[in-house]
Structure formats: structure tokens, C-alpha cells
Homo-oligomer: A and B are copies of this chain.
């Protein structure tokens, strides 16, 4: 379990500095929390994401998975190996291309993705379920603005201390 951010927020940071500090803190909490939850079910972030993709988009070739996950085909081989050994996915021959392998969710794999989906909804309600929809919408707008800027801006090499 790693953490990007440990120290308590500086008392005298400027508004923008404080805001970025909190954002990093939030990012770390989300990532660590997710990883911890996944680990309790024997899943890593990388394996869970592959599973999730199959759940969202249905059976795929490993090549498609490597594109969806933005990693190398070799990497997919390893992830599928592990998930297959755990009984969460299965390899099938592709009906029209004998080079390709179709990866599908097993029953256990489908159950795992359903559980992930449910947990995701639970988190959403725990964080925002009691808020006025107007406030939620405003907050979404705020985050959207930041996301858009990040997609166009240089991102820091630093972390809050």
C-alpha cells in the first residue's frame, strides 16, 4: 500500500496550493482505498481493470485488451494467465481468426465485476447521496473544469509534503 502524500497540510499555503494539496490527498485516498478493497478479494488494480473491461464491453481478444488497457500484448498475456489461473476469465479460440484468443468472464469473473459495480455505487451514495443534487452538479462542474485543464496543461513532477 503506497502513498503519494503523507504530511499534514501546510498551515500557511495559498488557496491554490491548498486546493492542489487536497486534490493529491484525495487521489491517494481513492487509489489506496480501491487497492485495499481489491486486495481483500485477491485482485490487483491491473487485474481488476481487465476484468472490469470485459464486464463493460464483453469478450475481447487479447489484442483488444492491450489497446483498451494501454499496455503491451505481453502484459495482457500475464494478466490473463493470472486471472485464468484464478478461475475469473477463460481463453477461447476466435471463431474466424485462428491467431487470436477470445477472453471471456467466467461465472466467478462476472460475479466479481458485479460486486465491483455494486461497491462503486455504494461509494457514490456514501460520498454524495445525501447532498442536494444542485450541489452535486456544481461539484461535478468544478471537477470537470480541472480535468479539462489537466488534459491541456503540464502536470507537476511534485507532490505535497
B70–A6 CB distance below 8 A: yes
In chain A between 76 and 91, which residues have their CB closer than 8 angstroms to a CB of chain B? none
Task: Determine how many copies of this chain the complex contains.
Answer: 2
Interface residues on A, range: 35 or more
A22–B158 CB distance below 8 A: no
Chain B residues with CB under 8 A of A111: none
Chain B residues with CB under 8 A of A7: 56
A63 at the interface (CB under 8 A from B): no
B150–A119 CB distance below 8 A: no
Q: What per-residue 1/0 map shows which CB atoms of A144-161 lie under 8 Å from chain B?
A: 101101110111111111
- In the bound assembly, the distance between CA atoms of A119 and B154 in angstroms comes to 9
Name A129's closest neighbour in chain B (CB-CB). Answer: B16
A136–B36 CB distance below 8 A: no
Report A124 CB to chain B, min CB distance, Å: 4
B124–A155 CB distance below 8 A: no
Chain B residues with CB under 8 A of A46: 2
A36–B155 CB distance below 8 A: yes
A115 at the interface (CB under 8 A from B): yes
Chain B residues with CB under 8 A of A3: 69-70
